[in-house]
Amino acid sequence: MLIGRTSDGPIAGRRVAVTGMGAVTCCGVGVDALWEQLLHPTITGTRSVPDFDPSQWFGPKEARRLDRFAQLSIVAAELARADAGELSVDPGRAGVIIATGVGGFETLVEQVLLCDRKGPGRVSPFLVPMMMANAGAANVSMRFGWHGPSEAVVTACAAGTHAVGSAARLIASGRCDVAIGGGSEASIQEVAIGAFTNMTALSTSGESRPFDVRRDGCVIAEGAAALVLEDMERALERGARIYAEVVGAASTADAYHITAPEPQGSGAVACMELALEDAQLSAADIGHINAHGTSTPLNDLAEARAIQKVFGTPGPPVTSAKGLLGHGLGAAGAIEAVASTLTIFHATIPPTAGLEQLDPEIGLDVVAGAPRPFTPAPVMSNSFGFGGHNGCLVLAPAR
Q: What is the set of active-site residues?
A: 157, 292, 327
What are the C-alpha distances in Å from 42 to residues 136, 140, 147?
30, 32, 41
Distance CA 222, CA 184 (A): 8
For 396, the 3-state DSSP assignment is strand
Burial class (CB in 10 A: 0-12, 13-18, 19+), 79: buried
Q: Which amino acid is at 187?
A: S
CB 222 within 8 A of CB 24: no
The conformational region for residue 88 under phi > 0 = left, psi -120 to 50 = alpha, else beta, is left
| Cβ pair 192, 220 in contact under 8 A | yes
Contact at 8 Å (CB) between 310 and 283?
A: yes
The answer to whether 102 and 386 are in contact (CB under 8 A) is no
Count of alpha carbons within 13 angstroms of residue 153, beta-carbon side: 34
Beta strands (DSSP E) in 59-119 are 94-99
